[in-house]
Structures are given as structure tokens and as C-alpha cells.
């Protein structure tokens, strides 16, 4: 019996087992409302969720709130998960839905001029390297010109390195449609980069491992 | 433009794009900031709001149960009135009228009952055998620690009262500790089963062998350890940090960060005074926590300003100060958040104050400059020293590694990277740690 008084805060201390459990076990624990599960969920997926949010939206203070939305949504909707072992894919899907919603919200705000701030402007806080910052700002301005689904697909495939099937699942699209969209967005972004002389000149100088050929759609 | 030029331009654009993607991957990587890591607390609060019920009234319960306990204490011991009643004798201690037992300072005090049940009392422990009959007895633990072993018999009925709590026993062995000054009950059940009733658990909390329960009446919290408690773990350690191992805190051995002065050392007297100070608004505690869970940080701040920030910081309950600190942090009110966290460290050094060190590190990191980084590093080091198994250890150790890297270079950070990977191979800073170890 764990019948605590109304209003009492009963804190069942975490056991070590769940933190080492696989995703399916964690999903079942979340569904069963195991009090240890939310913490393990956060610790396991928060780095990925924040990374996806950052790479899709740019570094932004609002990411904290969006991450909360993602995790609370996962917590609330996990009962609908048919395949517990697909917990990671489920978290990715929720993150994608949240980012797409946020992108649309920002687009509307810019359109009605509620905020002059672009997503790219947020990148100013990321890197102290002036050239890299300028390049990234221009790059995200290009991504601002791509529709939300294509932008999300681009980030998942080329920045997150997800498999095509994973991208398709996260976006709720067929594999063929996903391939077409990726080919289209790649061509469009290439075109926009090509028209920006600063990026054409600076981009290749960026010191980092380039995506492998199979990264291309 | 010729076809060759076109092809060359397209190749440049392709190279530029791949470079940009790689740069974005690098710059917008997986490393989480201290602020982002701290979101775990907010998430857990939101989850708790959805799964647990709110608005505790611990003080009312304490008063009610206190009155009951006092009534029991005043009730005369009638052990001789019943022919078949159990008897008891005290070894290495004194017993006076009313069944009052005082343990000797030298230790080794035991109360032996005729049915074979036994109480071993720590030096200085005060107990009272308030009732005994044919089936068992009732013992009031006024203060201190007792190891209780009850012989199982049919229809046996034993109750150990500890402050406002009562532990109902059938046949079992457990340790019970009650601190009247801190209003903290600590029960460690070795075998058998007990039901603990009292403030926050009037319906009764069933405990199984190996479990540990720590109830803090003042803070309205009951900690029930799902796994067997570790030997020697103190109630303070359990209360201070869920999942935290028993490590004695030695504040005097930890130098305070230079930029942000650490609170002055407090005597137990002043700490007790702080604990017993009347909360500014007890009724609002739940609503502030609720507001935090709902993300209404401005609501908390407005309430606090209306109530008086200084008053909240100096006389508010732990829940209030924590809520104010979190609200200020989320609203980027670094100055106020810092004051609140420092107040936590000063007033609640054994519980919320330890966790505050982690958040103070994050606040320092929000500032620019080498001094701020050094201060942040010192707070993280302090947190890790005080809470070696605390909630935010994976994050604090990661931030420590990152800051050492920035302040002292790769060589100095390597050992931390190795330690990080050994302890948290899948932790949020595992990738940067590997990167550090792989770098020249």
C-alpha cells in the first residue's frame, strides 16, 4: 500500500535497474507510470532532443520550453506506443512534430511582423568564430527559405545522420516520398548556396569532416 | 558561362554545402548546457503534478499527531494491571515512573521484553514504554535511535511511536530514528513488514524487508527507497538527494568559490532556528510548486515580490525558496536566482542547498569571462564533493570537464574525460569526452 496523504509528495527513489534497461523496458515502465521512468527517459534522450532542436531551429533560449513540450508529450502519449522497443523513434517523431510546429509558429510571427527575429539570428550565441558564425547565419537564412517538412528532413538526414527509413518514419512519409523530398531540398539548398558568394568561398574552408557520399539522397 | 565553369561552380557549391553541414554539426552538437540539463527538474515537477496529488498540510498533521503522541505519553502505564501482560527490564540504562527509559551515555542500553522482543538504544536515546499487554506493547521513541526486534507471535501487536508517526509491527526487525528538532523520521526495515502511519501517510505506508523510509514532516516529503538501503546511510543523505550515497559532508574542507561568496558556517543552533522559522505562507507552497510545474514562472515571481523577496528568502519554506530560485533562473533573473540559491545553501545545507551548488555553477556559466568560468568550476566541484551520487552528477562532471578544458587545456581535462566515460559511458557528455581523449 502506498496510500500517502492528500498533497504529500511521495518520492520513490530510483533503482539502478531501469537506467540500464533497454528502450522497450523503459517504455513499459513509462506506460506503467513507474516513478523512476521519467528521469531515465530524460537522461537517455535529452542530449538527442536538444541536439535535434538546436540543429533544426538554431541555438535559442526557447529550446528549454520546447524540450519540456517534447518530453511531456512523450510521457502523455507513450501509452499509444504499439511497439515499446520503438521508443527512440517515438521520441524522434514527437521532437519532429514539435519543431515543425515551432517553425510554422515562427514563420507566422515573422509574416505578421510580431517578431523581426529570424532563426538564423539566434546563431549569434553559438560560436565566437566570426567567419564561422557568419557562414552559419547565412546557411540558416537559406534553411529559413525551405518549407518546414523539407527543412526537417534535411536536418534529420544530413545533420543527424538518420537512415532514410528513420527519416520517413519520423515525418510520417513513405520511403519514396522521403527520397524525393530529400533530393529536392538538397538541390534547392545547393542552388541557394551557389547564389551566395560568401558561402561558396567560405564553405569549403570550414574545418570539419565532410558528410560521406552516402549522405547524399 | 561555359559548361566547364558551370560544373566548377556547382562543385564549389557542393563543397560549400558539405562544409556548412559539417560546421553546423560541430557547432550545434550534442553537448547540453547546464541550463538545459537543469530542465530535468522542471520535467520531473511537471510529471509529478500530473501523477501525484497536491497541497500538503504537514504542520496541521504534525500538530494533530503531536497531540495524540502527547496524550499517549500522559497515559499511565498499566502494565501491572493485567495478569498476562508482558514485562520488561532495562539493561545498562535507567527506567523511571511512567516507563521512561533513558539510555546511558556509554551505550549498550537494551530493553528486554518477556516475549523475547528487544530494543537496543543508542547512547542518549529517550524512550517511554507507554503500554504493554498480553499481545505486545507500545513504545514512544522521544528522540534518538533504536534497533527494534519484535518476536513474531500469533495476534502480536506492537507499535513504536516516533514523534507524530507510528510504526505498526507484527514480527520484524528494524531501525527507527526520530529527530524532534528536524521533525524527521527514519525507518530502515531489515526483515518482516511494518505499516507506518502519521503525517502525510494517514492511510498507512506498507514497508517491505530491505526498504528505507524517511519522512520529513516539515517539508511534507516522504522518501521510500525502492531498493534495499545501504548500510550506514544517514537520513540526511537520503533526504538531501534522491539516490545519493551516504557521504559525510565536510563543508570546512571545501573552499568557497572566489567570485560568489559561500554562506558562512552555521551552527546547529542557527540551522535549527531556520528550520523552525514560521514559513512566510505555508498555504501558498503547493500553488508555487504548481505554478512552476505549469511554467508560470512570472506568477511565482509576482507572488514573491508581493510577499517580499527578502522575507521569502529569509523565512520562506524550502519549497518556496526553491520555487523562487527556479522561477528566477528560468526567467533569466540571474541576480535573484543566485540570491535564492545562496539562501538555500545557507538555510538548508543538508537538502536543497546541496543541489543549489549545481545551479549556481550554471548561473556563473551564463556570465562571460574567465572569472565567471572559474567560479562555475568551483561550484561544480563543490556540488560533486557534497553530492557524489546526486541527480546532476553526470551533468556536473561533464561541465567540470568542459570548463577545465577551456581554462587549463586538453591535458588537464583528459583525466576528467576518462573518469566521465568510466562512470557515464552513455552520458550527455560522453561524445565530448571521447573527442577530448582522441585529440592530440
The pLDDT tens digits for A66-75 are 899 999 999 9
The DSSP string of B241-259 is STT-------GGGSPPPSS
Name the residue facing A204 among B12, B53, B222 (closest C-beta): B12
Least Cα separation, residue A186 to chain B (angstroms):
9
Least Cα separation, residue B161 to chain A (angstroms):
18
Chain B interface test: which of A4, A38, A99, A130 (most B C-beta within 10 Å): A4
Q: Which residues pair with B197 in a beta bridge?
A: B166
A-chain residue closest to B42, CA distance: A68
Count of A–B CB contacts within 8 Å?
212
Identify whether the C-beta of residue A110 lies closer than 8 Å to the C-beta of residue A118: yes
ipTM of predicted complex: 0.76
A33 touching B (Cβ < 8 Å): yes
- Please state which of the ranges A40-44, A210-214, B196-200 shows the lowest mean pLDDT: A210-214
Q: Which residues of B touch A151 (CB under 8 A)?
A: none
Interface of B with A in 140-179 (CB under 8 A): none
- Grid coordinates representing B404 are 577545465
A210 touching B (Cβ < 8 Å): yes
Binning chain A into helix, strand and coil, the percentages to the nearest 5 are 70, 5, 25
Confidence band of A184 (pLDDT split at 50, 70, 90):
very high
B206 touching A (Cβ < 8 Å): yes
8 Å CB contact of B20 and A200:
no
The pLDDT tens digits for B323-370 are 888 888 877 788 899 999 999 888 888 777 888 898 898 888 877 788
Name the residue facing B243 among A14, A64, A215 (closest C-beta): A14
The pLDDT tens digits for B268-293 are 222 222 222 333 334 444 467 667 66
B277 touching A (Cβ < 8 Å): no
8 Å CB contact of A58 and B28:
yes
- Please state which of the ranges A141-145, A171-175, A194-198, B118-122 shows the lowest mean pLDDT: A194-198
The pLDDT tens digits for A88-144 are 999 999 999 998 888 888 777 766 655 445 554 444 444 556 677 778 888 888 888
Phi and psi, residue B255, nearest 5°: -70, 135
| % of chain B at pLDDT higher than 70 | 70
Name the residue facing A203 among B17, B32, B222 (closest C-beta): B17
Q: Which residues of B touch A8 (CB under 8 A)?
A: 53, 56, 58, 200-201, 220-222
Judge whether residue A30 has pLDDT over 70.
Answer: yes
A-chain residue closest to B199, CA distance: A5
Least Cα separation, residue A141 to chain B (angstroms):
12
8 Å CB contact of A2 and B37:
no
| % of chain A at pLDDT higher than 90 | 21
Identify whether the C-beta of residue B13 lies closer than 8 Å to the C-beta of residue A200: yes
Helix (H, G, I), strand (E, B) or coil at B430: helix
Name the residue facing A6 among B19, B47, B53 (closest C-beta): B53
pLDDT at B266: 30
Confidence band of B225 (pLDDT split at 50, 70, 90):
low
Which has the higher per-residue pLDDT, B91 or B266? B91
Mean pLDDT of chain A: 77
Q: Which residues of A touch B22 (CB under 8 A)?
A: 206, 208-211
Judge whether residue B129 has pLDDT over 50.
Answer: yes
A115 touching B (Cβ < 8 Å): no
Confidence band of A6 (pLDDT split at 50, 70, 90):
low
pLDDT at B7: 65
8 Å CB contact of A50 and B17:
no
Taking alpha carbons only, the member of A95, A75, A81 closest to residue A30 is: A75
8 Å CB contact of B332 and A61:
yes
C-alpha atoms less than 13 angstroms from C-alpha of B66 in its C-beta half-sphere: 9
pLDDT at A177: 93
* Most confident of the following: A34-38, A93-97, A200-204, B2-6: A93-97
For B22, other C-beta atoms within 10 Å of its C-beta total 19
The pLDDT tens digits for B163-213 are 778 888 866 788 888 887 777 888 888 777 788 877 777 666 777 777 778
Chain B interface test: which of A206, A209, A213, A217 (most B C-beta within 10 Å): A206
Name the residue facing B13 among A48, A61, A200 (closest C-beta): A200
β-pairing verdict for B157-162 and B136-149:
parallel
pLDDT at B350: 74
B60 CB-contact burial (10 Å; exposed 0-12 / middle 13-18 / buried 19+): exposed
Mean pLDDT of chain B: 71
B17 touching A (Cβ < 8 Å): yes
pLDDT at B424: 82
Name the residue facing B56 among A9, A13, A54 (closest C-beta): A9
Interface of B with A in 312-341 (CB under 8 A): 330, 332
Q: Which residues of B touch A12 (CB under 8 A)?
A: 224-226
Judge whether residue B36 has pLDDT over 60.
Answer: yes
- Please state which of the ranges A184-198, B25-39, B337-351, B397-411 shows the lowest mean pLDDT: B25-39
C-alpha atoms less than 13 angstroms from C-alpha of B193 in its C-beta half-sphere: 6
Which has the higher per-residue pLDDT, B211 or A77? A77
8 Å CB contact of A206 and B53:
no
B-chain residue closest to A52, CA distance: B30
Listed as own residue / partner, the contacts of A119-125 with beta carbons closer than 8 Å and 24 or more positions apart are: A119/A57, A119/A58, A119/A60, A119/A143, A119/A144, A120/A58, A120/A144, A122/A57, A122/A58, A122/A59, A122/A60, A123/A58, A123/A59, A123/B27, A125/A59
Least Cα separation, residue B193 to chain A (angstroms):
12
Amino acid at each position: 500500500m502506498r496510500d500517502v496523504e492528500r498533497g504529500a509528495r511521495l518520492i520513490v527513489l530510483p533503482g539502478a535497474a531501469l537506467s540500464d534497461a533497454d528502450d522497450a523496458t523503459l517504455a513499459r515502465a513509462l506506460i506503467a507510470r513507474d516513478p523512476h521512468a521519467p528521469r531515465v527517459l530524460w537522461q537517455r534522450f535529452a542530449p538527442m532532443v536538444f541536439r535535434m532542436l538546436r540543429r533544426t531551429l538554431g541555438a535559442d533560449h526557447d529550446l528549454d520550453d520546447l524540450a519540456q513540450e517534447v518530453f511531456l508529450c512523450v510521457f502523455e502519449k507513450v501509452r499509444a506506443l504499439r511497439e515499446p522497443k520503438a521508443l527512440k523513434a517515438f521520441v524522434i517523431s514527437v521532437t519532429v512534430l514539435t519543431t515543425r510546429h515551432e517553425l510554422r509558429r515562427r514563420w507566422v510571427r515573422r509574416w505578421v511582423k510580431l517578431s523581426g527575429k529570424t532563426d538564423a539570428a539566434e546563431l549569434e550565441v553559438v560560436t565566437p568564430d566570426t567567419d564561422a558564425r557568419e557562414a552559419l547565419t547565412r546557411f540558416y537564412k537559406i534553411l529559413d527559405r525551405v518549407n518546414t517538412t523539407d527543412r526537417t528532413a534535411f536536418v534529420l538526414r544530413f545533420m543527424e545522420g538518420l537512415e532514410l527509413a528513420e527519416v520517413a518514419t519520423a515525418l510520417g512519409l513513405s520511403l519514396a516520398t522521403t527520397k524525393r523530398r530529400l533530393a529536392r531540398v538538397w538541390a534547392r539548398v545547393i542552388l541557394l548556396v551557389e547564389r551566395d558568394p560568401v558561402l561558396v568561398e567560405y564553405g569549403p574552408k570550414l574545418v570539419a569532416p565532410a558528410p560521406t557520399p552516402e549522405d547524399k539522397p | 558561362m561555359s559548361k566547364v565553369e558551370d560544373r566548377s561552380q556547382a562543385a564549389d557549391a557542393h563543397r560549400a554545402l558539405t562544409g556548412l553541414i559539417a560546421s553546423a554539426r560541430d557547432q550545434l552538437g550534442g553537448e547540453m548546457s547546464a541550463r538545459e540539463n537543469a530542465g530535468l527538474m522542471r520535467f520531473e515537477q511537471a510529471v509529478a503534478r500530473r501523477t501525484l496529488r497536491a497541497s500538503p498540510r504537514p504542520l496541521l498533521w504534525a500538530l494533530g499527531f503531536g497531540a495524540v503522541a502527547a496524550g499517549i505519553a500522559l497515559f499511565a502505564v498499566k502494565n501491572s494491571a493485567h495478569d498476562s501482560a508482558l514485562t520488561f527490564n532495562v539493561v545498562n540504562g535507567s527506567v523511571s515512573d511512567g516507563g521512561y527509559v533513558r539510555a546511558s551515555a556509554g551505550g549498550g542500553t537494551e530493553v528486554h521484553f518477556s516475549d523475547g522482543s528487544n530494543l537496543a538504544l543508542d547512547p542518549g536515546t529517550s524512550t517511554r514504554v507507554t503500554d504493554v499487554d498480553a499481545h505486545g506493547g507500545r513504545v514512544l521513541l522521544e528522540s534518538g535511535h533504536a534497533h527494534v526486534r519484535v518476536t513474531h507471535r500469533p495476534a502480536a501487536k506492537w507499535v513504536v511511536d516516533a514523534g507524530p508517526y507510528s510504526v505498526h509491527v507484527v514480527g520484524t526487525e528494524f531501525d527507527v530514528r526520530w529527530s524532534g528538532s528536524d521533525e524527521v523520521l527514519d525507518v530502515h526495515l531489515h526483515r518482516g513488514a511494518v505499516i507506518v502511519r502519521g503525517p502525510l501517510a494517514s492511510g498507512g505506508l506498507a514497508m517491505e524487508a530491505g526498504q528505507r523510509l524517511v519522512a520529513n514532516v516539515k517539508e511534507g516529503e516522504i522518501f521510500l527507497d525502492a531498493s534495499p538501503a545501504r548500510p550506514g546511510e544517514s537520513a540526511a543523505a537520503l533526504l538531501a538527494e534522491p539516490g545519493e550515497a551516504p557521504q559525510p559532508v565536510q563543508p570546512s574542507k571545501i573552499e568557497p568559490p572566489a567570485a560568489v561568496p559561500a554562506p558562512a558556517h552555521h551552527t546547529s543552533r542557527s540551522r535549527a532556528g531556520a528550520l523552525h522559522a514560521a514559513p512566510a505562507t505555508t498555504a501558498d507552497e503547493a500553488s508555487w510548486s504548481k505554478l512552476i510545474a505549469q511554467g508560470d514562472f512570472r506568477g511565482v515571481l509576482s507572488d514573491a515580490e508581493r510577499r517580499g523577496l527578502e522575507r521569502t528568502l529569509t523565512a520562506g519554506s524550502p519549497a518556496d525558496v526553491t520555487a523562487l530560485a527556479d522561477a528566477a533562473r528560468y526567467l533569466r533573473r540571474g541576480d535573484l536566482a543566485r540570491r535564492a540559491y545562496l539562501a538555500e545553501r545557507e538555510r538548508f545545507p543538508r537538502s536543497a542547498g546541496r543541489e543549489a551548488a549545481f545551479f549556481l555553477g550554471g548561473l556563473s556559466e551564463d556570465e562571460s569571462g574567465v572569472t565567471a568560468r572559474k567560479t562555475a568550476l568551483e561550484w561544480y566541484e563543490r556540488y560533486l564533493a557534497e553530492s557524489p551520487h546526486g541527480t546532476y552528477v553526470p551533468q556536473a562532471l561533464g561541465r567540470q570537464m568542459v570548463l577545465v578544458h577551456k581554462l587549463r587545456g586538453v591535458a588537464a581535462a583528459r583525466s576528467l574525460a576518462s573518469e566521465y566515460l568510466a562512470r557515464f559511458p552513455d552520458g550527455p557528455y560522453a561524445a565530448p569526452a571521447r573527442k577530448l581523449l582522441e585529440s592530440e
